[in-house]
Amino acid sequence: MHPVIAEFSQYVLVRRGLSEQTVRAYTSDVRDLLDFLTLSNTNLLAASLGDLREWLAHLVENGASSATLARKGAAIRAFYAWATEAGKLEVDPAARLITPKAANALPKLLSEGQTARLLEHAEKVASETELPQDLRMWAVCELIYACGLRVSEATGLNVSDLDLSQRIVRVIGKGNKERIVPVGKPAAAALQLWIVQGRPPLLNAAPVGKAPTAALFLGQRGGRWDPRDVRERLHRLAAQASVPDIAPHGLRHSAATHLLEGGADLRTVQEILGHSSLQTTQRYTHVTTDRLKSAYRLAHPRA
């Protein structure tokens, strides 16, 4: 890795406390900019505002979405702000860089009935095969939905973070913020079976001489489970269960929506999801209001 990028990566990880996933994304975005600038023999620390705008235009021409542009713009602004503060630059070229705002649209959601069908299918497969990977898939789906977790939060859990006697889980979210979330009975049952029956065979699959991992969810080689594999398996599970295609983040958003529709207040949902701002949680009220209006139009004779 370019030395300056490596230094920036360490800064945002240690000093700013960003998650490893965000650090990887920021690092990748700065490296993309470096590759672009290299084509015109421009040094990363010698780039002008015009160079940065040309890079964004290049991304647009190659089909980048507004969400991608917003994220890459945030990464570049963070990099040059750090470089300026660290004395590597006299003037921040990204200070006036404007990128489009990401659309504030929620991912696809499942209805309560569709979610139940997905989870029931995961349980059915796990009970029929009793294979570690199927027990694991059932457990992680139940946990993400029960607790409204991000997939990175679920795969980042250690066994010690889970207290099944109290039915709570300790979650480290964005910015290394800790929260305690209750775990429902179905999720607790799936997790108990995974820990007792599914996890040990994968733990034994670790290479000889490697120290056992404390991770709650293990991959096929005994290490921590990769979030990308969770996504791929969930897409397949949704197809098998004959429900609309869903990603782990969509399952998290489904949980938030169903909580609000069930009568939970915004503050409670905010705490469960680990949102730093109540405004982020308020997005879900638009979903529930839209559903309310739809039901009203269909049912009320004067609608």
Active site residues: 150, 174, 249, 252, 275, 284
Q: Name the nearest CA neighbour of 106 among 233, 259, 285.
A: 285
DSSP string, 91-114: S-TTTT---PPPP-PPPP---HHH
Chain-centroid distance, C-alpha 274:
12
Name beta bridge partners: 172.
178
Q: Name the nearest CA neighbour of 215 among 301, 154, 302.
A: 154
Q: How far apart are CA 181 and CA 273, in angstroms?
A: 9
Helix (H) or strand (E) holding 175, with range, is none
Q: Any idea what DSSP says for residue 211? A: P
Amino acid residing at 170: R
Assess contact for 261 and 288: CB atoms under 8 A. Answer: yes
